[in-house]
Amino acid sequence: MKCDLCEQEAVVHMTQVVNGEMKEYHLCEEHAREQGVDIDSPISITDILMGLGQQEKQNVTHDLTLSCPRCGMARDEFRKTGRLGCPDCYKTFMAELAAAVKAMHHSSQHIGKIPAREGTQTRIKSKIARLQQDLETAVAREDYEKAAHIRDEVKRLQNEAASEEGSS
């Protein structure tokens, strides 16, 4: 792919989303430097998202020789591009992917909105799951009064779920 500003080969590929509008930029080494992109840095944006930049600074070495058995993509190539080569890469680089998802979403489990069509049954079950985590935390902190309140709320919601299920 050619640089957007000249005819040289592009070495930096960026995607920018502003107000829902996506723009792609492709720059050669010279124009990337002019735009302030540090292409000599051993730490990529993928590393930062996965928290690997901190480990690099602490001189922790990574096994960069790990590669996908199907397509041959190496870990260092994945770290540079942030893209996977085939479906088996997901298994091979699971640790890095899990770290990236957790870093970006602050959780490894979906906790977003529940579609309206899912109904109250799903909402109740979701709330019970959150309360049970809160209950475990309260017990671990030995805050038994709070734990008792949470336990009572869980029981109330379980009864509500049972009555909803019976009326469906």
Taking only the tens place, the pLDDT of each residue in 93-138 is: 888 788 777 777 777 776 667 666 667 788 888 899 999 999 999 9
- Tell me, what's the pLDDT at 56? 41
More confident residue, 96 or 1: 1
Surface-to-core class of residue 57, CB atoms within 10 Å of its CB (0-12 exposed, 13-18 middle, 19+ buried):
exposed
Say which residue, 34 or 134, is predicted with more confidence.
Answer: 134
Ramachandran region of residue 34, left (φ > 0), alpha (ψ -120 to 50) or beta? alpha
For 41-65, the pLDDT digits (tens) are 555 555 555 555 444 433 334 455 7
Residue 72 pLDDT grade (very low, low, confident, very high; cuts 50, 70, 90): very high
pLDDT value for 44: 57
| pLDDT at position 54 | 45
Q: In this predicted model, which residue has the larger pLDDT, 79 or 34?
A: 34
pLDDT band at 69 (very low <50, low <70, confident <90, very high): very high
d(CA 34, CA 32): 5
User: Does residue 42 contact residue 59 with C-beta atoms inside 8 Å?
Assistant: no
Burial class (CB in 10 A: 0-12, 13-18, 19+), 160: middle
3-state secondary structure of 98: helix
Q: What is the pLDDT of residue 80?
A: 75
pLDDT > 90 fraction of the chain, expressed in percent and rounded: 30
Within 10 A of 103 (CB to CB), how many other CB atoms are there? 13
Cβ-in-10-Å burial (0-12, 13-18, 19+) of 123 comes to: middle
Rounded mean pLDDT, 5-11: 90
Q: Is the dihedral of CA 102, 104, 105, 106 positive or negative?
A: positive
CB atoms within 10 A of CB 3: 19
d(CA 83, CA 93): 11
Q: What confidence score (pLDDT) does residue 78 get?
A: 81
In this structure, the number of other CB atoms found within 10 A of the CB of residue 136 comes to 12
Distance between CA 64 and CA 73 in Å, rounded?
Answer: 11
**Residue 29 host element (H or E):** helix 29-34
